[in-house]
Structure 1
Amino acid sequence: MTVGSRGDVAPYTGPAVRLREAGHQVVVSAPAEFADMLGELGLEHRPMAGDMRALLASEQGRAWAEKGTGLKGLKVQLEIAEQLMNSVADSVMDAAADADVLLLQRGAMINGYLAGKALGIPAVALELFPGVPTAEFGLAGLGGKDLGRVLNRWLPRLALRVPTSIDASVKQFCRRIGLPPVGVGAARRMMLADHGFPVLHGFSRHVVPRPVDWPSGVDVVGYWWPERPPGWTAPAELVDFLKAGPPPVFLGFGSMAPGAGERLSEVVTETVRRAGIRAVVQAGWSGLTATGDDVMCVESVPHDWLFPQMAAVVHHCGAGTTGASVRAGVPVVPTPVLADQPFWASRLAKVGVSPGSVPFAKLAAEPLAELVTRAVTEPGYRACARVLAGHVRAEDGAGAILRLVERANPRRV
């Protein structure tokens, strides 16, 4: 079960195909807009309510992007989470029907976990960023700011005892499915204390080592890669562009900033001019474009094919795009917007593959062009990126899910 943007769905397609190839019957419950993507991969789809694109384009979504992450954006984040969870609650029981094991992405995790309890179905959390409190860093979902070991570990746990606007939705859902009503904080505390609820994190320990204070059953297993559609071929125009000169720089912001296409297009066009680079620009949800003789604009292109051919990549640092860029072995210039994105941006700088980032709220051509120039011309970033890519490619994140599912329920179709 997953809900959110493309980055909340695509990473799970690789494990889903792996499970199917091992003989398991797999159903992916995701928003309706991803039905075609899943169908191309031969995966059965059940609709999950929740329109993240509309939420990000709303007044609240724009406010969240402007405030960024951390405590400033927490109120807006809770308001969006409430709307999303109300939608998820409408479809999660249908999604869980006839399941033997529930695999839960964060957006569907609380409702999915409670549904599993009501139906007697084992559940597993599949996190794309660190989701369990640790003394080693702050909550990744709030940017991962280091508050010191004591506050890092205990502030998130104390926060789970503070009433929120989401509590009413979760309590109502509990009543509907025959469970004692609990709020979101109580549900999260149940999950953290439940030794029968494994939590797998789909990123590399070479990017974020497993914290030593995490309990057993909580692990870092390696990235989960999107599955490329069968028979996919690159557009001839893009292939010709790549062959026509030195490796370009990729610039794209994924599902971030819908409606901000005009401003972003101006920033990107000026960045390309200042840095004197060739560029591949991906439209994303913002409708981003750019102009110039050395610019190629594209729609959706598999990152596992495109990124290794780039001199560097510029992106919002969502978890999935971050994984694709470290897998490719190229330098990264992050432009983080919200949630876990600043956390990943700081991690990429820490492991030596990024010269730094420009927060999306302060995005401008001059600082972005300066960082792009450093990423392309200073060889240390590419050297670190290549070493990291070797480690990342050797990991088998999908295999860890398969092994866990087969321990929980070994039945095949």
Structure 2
Amino acid sequence: MSTQATYTSSWFNQAQFIPPDAIFALTAQYQADPFPQKVNLGQGTYRDEEGKPWVLPSVNKARECLRTKGLQHEYLPILGLQSFREETAKIVLGAELFKEQASKIATCQSLSGTGALHLAGLLLRACHTKLPKFYIPEPTWSNHHQVFQSLGFPCESFKYYDHEMKSLDIESYYSMLRQAEPNSVVILHACAHNPTGCDPSKEQWREIAQLMKARQLFPLFDSAYLGFNSGNFDEDAFAIRLFLGEMQMEAGVCVSFAKNMGLYGERVGCILMSTVDRQVAVNMQSMLEMLQRSEVSNPPAFGAKIASQVLGNDELKQMWFQDMMTMSGRIRAMRAALYEKLIFFGAPGSWEHLIQQSGMFGFLGLSHEVVLKLREQHHVYVADNSRISIAGLNAGNVEYVARSITQCLRDLE
């Protein structure tokens, strides 16, 4: 009797095993670790000084307001909650620019920032017989390539970060824009670049905008950290308003309220498409409605209602502004504390780049060997590229993290 395995025919014989997402796999590894002093610096979620998830007071109050009014569980329209879409456009553009351009903006609620990026890709694909090339910074958020490659777009990386100097490589950025194929798309991090924490200055943003306009390049903003980066929403929205207002460019803006409202699990996002005139906006809105219907039929309601309540109520909005200052302020304090502890322990190398970066993430510039030693020997969980979530640090673990990094570096000397 033959012991050879029998080949079974399947519809899925061509299926390939895809490794788990690196960040989510890292979180699972952390959760399975019984070590009492373990530290998770992988996943980008805000934690308070005690290392716990924080429900924003503004969000908590908005939730109570919704309960008082009585929650309904009916479907939203296909495009989403109208008040949420309008208030999102108002706060992203600012009152003055919104008043000028409201009729030229198409909007659609989305499944957080990822859903907004995917809708943008679907819309751009539907509008072009020849798919435009996407220029994506290197490094970037890993999902950028996955989203747009899955839709069939040709994607090309360009050098954004100088690993030796540990800073933004603005000359390489300019060079790419001068040589980019006209009618291509460029992915722009509106603020708090993930993973490097290095953003262009206002003067550099102006040069980027001028080059893109001259080369007929389409800006697609990933805006996951507005208000969360600096604590000031207007400051963080500078680049978006520059392109849409001062430069009068068509653009896509993909907005998420996961980080700045702490609505991670509610998946609250919105896509804004700025167009040349009212009729184009009407056409784009109708296409977004069709694409949304074919994808998810209509978006979830609860998170959008919370966000709309916060954005549309002056008292709650001011509370939210203060909440964002609280979060961004604690992150800046932890960034400074890590820097100071690394210097105190005499960690080999220079660490000025850590305090020159901004936002939730820090790009340490450690080798993969050091990253593995941190995990295996010290139970400090850091992404493979040595990106850390600064929000995972607190007064109780920052010294341990700095000492662990120092020890790993010294072991390799």
TM-score of the two chains, using structure 2 as the length reference: 0.31
Which one has a bigger Cα radius of gyration? 2
Where relative contact order (Cα < 8 A, 6+ residues apart) is larger, the structure is 2
